[in-house]
Every structure is written in C-alpha cells, then in structure tokens.
Amino acid sequence: MVDAPETQTAPFRALNVAVVGGGIGGLTTALSLRREGHKVTVYERTEFLGETGASISCAANGTRFLKKWGFDVPRGLPVPLGELTMRDWHTGEVLNEYPLGDYEERWGNIYWMFHRQDFHDELQHAIVDDGPGPKCKIAVNHRARNIDVEKGVIEFDNGTTVTADLIVGADGIRSVVREKIGVVADSKPANVTAYRCNISREKIDELGLPQPGKSIEFWGGFPSEGVSQHFKIVMAPCRKDELISFYCFMPTHLSPHRKEGFRFESPPHSELLDPYNDVKLDPYVMKMLEHSIDLMPWRLYIHQPYTHWTQGKACILGDAAHPMLPNQSQGACMAIEDSGALGIVFSKDYSYTSDVKAGLAFYERLRKTRATRVQEASRRATENLNERIGFSSLSAHDAKLAAAADKLTVNEICGYNMEEHARELAATA
C-alpha cells in the first residue's frame, strides 16, 4: 500500500499535464487541474467538429464540481430537472413519479440536463478563458501512437513527441492509454442496443402534440407490460428547454448495428421505428420519433472492472477506466468525479506533486471502488429498472429496502463528499 500524507509536507509544484482525449472527461480534467495551478494540454485525435448525441444528466455529485471550478452553467444552456416519471409502455399513463422539487435544498446543487454538444462547447471555453489558473492548450489532430508511461513520453501519429509529468487517458471506450498501462479489456456485447435522437419543441407544436414537461420520462423497462424489459424509452429536455432528447433501447437482435462507440453515420429512421411498431409503443412517442433528428446508434457493451487504472506517470478515467451502460444516468458524473479527484490529489493539500506515481495510486484508491459500484449497478438496471437511482428509493421505506439490498440510492450518489473521503483515506493509509 502506498502511504498517503496526512498534510502537505513537500513543496507544491505545477505539473505539466498531457490529457489524451478531448471529450467531457478530458475537458473536465483540464479544468480541474487548471484550477489547482497545473499547466494542461488536451490532445484530441481529430478536429473538434462538435459533440454528437443527445442529453446528458448532471446530478448533484457532478454539479458540485462544476460549481467548485467556477463553470458558467447558464452558458451551457441546461434545464433544471423537475422529476422522474415512469409511464405505461402502450398508453403513456403515469405509473410512478419521483419528485425533485426539493432537490437543491436536500443536496445543495441543482440536477441539470445538458445537451452534450452545448456542455462540451462551454467546457472548451472554460479551459482557455481568463479564469483562475494557467490557460489550457488544445491540440487537435493528435492521435496517440505510443506512450512510455514511466518516462511520461507520448508519440503521436503526426510525428509530434511530448513529455509530461502526468498523462491522463480520457480517450474513451477504445482507449490507447488503457492499453499502454497494461489493461486488457474483458467485454462482451450487451443484450440491448440504444439509439439517440432529438426533436425541437417547435416541431412538437407543429405536429400538434402535447409538450413534455421538465422531467426525465421513462417508457418500458418492465416485462410485466407484455414486452421485453430491454425495450425502453428515456426522454428528457435540454438546450434551455428548446430540445427534447431521447435514448431509445431495444433488444440487440433487432438492430443491425454492431460496432462499439458513439460516432457513426445516421441510419434510416425505419431502423429505429420498426421494432417499436411491432410492440405497440405509445403513439405519442412514436410520432415524435418519426420526426426526430440527429439519429445516432449506440452499440452497448458490458465491461468487467479493470484490474488497475494507473501505471508510472499515467492514469485513465471516464469511459477509458469504467465504461458503463447508461441506465443510471451517471456516466458523465462519474467522469466529472474522476476529474475532481485528480484535482484533489494534486492540490496544495497533499504532497503528491513531488511523487506523481504515488499520487496516482491514491487517485485509484479514491475512485475505483465507487465508480465500479456504479458501473455494476448500471448493468443490473438493464434487467430491472427498479435498480435505477430514484426508482430504487421512492420513499423512506423504499430507501431502507434499497440500502439493505445493496442498490444504489440517491443519498449514496448525491450525498457523497469526495474531499472528506480523501481525508479519511489519507488518515488510514
């Protein structure tokens, strides 16, 4: 076990940090480490052509770090979430609700729904603006080819070579950094596939349909409704409430899409609609899906927890470290928490800037258990929507039952204090 210091003993030094990957995990890492006084360059393998996709959830455990970093939330055009609503697959009738009216009062932060593109754009602005800490740099068209994790050297396909005190692999599901630290992914296709799409409120009005509220709404997920639990629709508002976003799930054998990842050519709408027609999805939802835009497939895989996250001067985070199914709406928040952890570990409160390797070992201790627990709970919620945070604790009585059954609860996710956790680990090392 690596000793963790009780207090700052060695002098703080600003690290030269190379972040491999410019997605949400990479940009929040840059922002977190910038705020602690480090010099960060983000290396993105392509041009920033704009993030694709749909809404992303930022619950209190993510929002608290955005607040800590001084992130300008309104510029990200989010929507404050009002409730979770469960509806009948065929009729849309409300079956259950989890109100969030007292959410900020209880957890100290708002539950925000961002569109991925808006959030990504504002994170880019935040890491290069005139805020606290050295301005970060962004280098596009830098695809990592080889990494010496002991020396901190990265070679890119474009012929560039850089040396860093700390290398952060935020390069997603097909991570190069993960491979270079010696992790072999153990994964298998999930028995469910997803599609993402959006529709504007303007278009909903044009179609003469009722407007959705400011809530995450669920259709399906329960075999008791006469369809497979792998049929599920998740709908949420984003982009300053101008856009309604969908995550559409179906059994894998009904989709021709087989490649893991996020960025693919948009398929014909029939690929999305035909399976739902066959199982008589609520006509209200079907009408919106027929007129949706930005349709993108998302092939899902189940990854077993990785053996380790760090080696030498390198670490992984986000999808590179703990890829998870989207059923807990915690993928982005777990990446944000990872970023926050690196900021804590390499802050002036600890002496790890003088021993990066030891700092990364402490980072893994701080993050791996919690992230792995959410990863596993996300897998379980594929088969049973009652495992989902919120629906697992619709009342105080349910919360006790959920805790006894070792299900994730709102309190466990939103009440988490990482700074306190880090102090406890440091004191007991």
Please give the average per-residue pLDDT across 236-244, as a whole number: 97
* Token pair listed for 260: 């893991």
- Domain CATH for 339: 3.50.50.60
Rounded CA separation 294/292 (Å): 7
Boundary of a domain, candidates 303, 331, 347:
303
> What amino acid is encoded at 165 in this protein?
D
Do the Cβ atoms of 127 and 34 come closer than 8 Å?
yes
Rounded CA separation 366/421 (Å): 7
Which pLDDT score is estimated for 389?
Answer: 83
Instruction: Using a pLDDT cut of 70, give the percent of the chain over it.
Output: 90
148 and 272 in one domain? Answer: no
Rounded CA separation 81/64 (Å): 16
Boundary of a domain, candidates 283, 303, 323:
303
345 and 259 in one domain? Answer: no
In a domain, 7, yes or no: no
pLDDT tens digits for 369-396?
A: 999 999 999 999 888 878 888 665 544 4
Tally of domains within the chain? 2
In a domain, 222, yes or no: yes
Determine the longest span between alpha carbons in the chain, in angstroms: 66
CA 62 to the chain's CA centroid = 9
Boundary of a domain, candidates 303, 332, 360:
303
pLDDT tens digits for 119-175?
A: 999 999 999 999 999 999 999 999 999 999 999 999 999 999 999 999 999 999 999
Q: Which residues contact 130 (CB under 8 A, 6 or more apart)?
A: none
Element housing 422 (H / E)? helix 418-428
116 and 263 in one domain? Answer: no
- Domain CATH for 275: 3.30.9.30
Interior/surface letters 210-246, b for 16+ CB within 10 angstroms, e for the rest: eebeebbbbbbbbeebebbbbbbbbbbbbbebebbbb
* Token pair listed for 216: 């995450």
Structure confidence at residue 2 as a pLDDT band (50, 70, 90): very low
DSSP 8-state assignment for residue 409: -
Range of the domain at 140: 16-79+110-186+306-428
Rounded CA separation 290/412 (Å): 38
Instruction: Using a pLDDT cut of 90, give the percent of the chain over it.
Output: 79
311 and 170 in one domain? Answer: yes
Query: In terms of DSSP H, where are the helices of 194-282?
Result: 201-206, 269-278
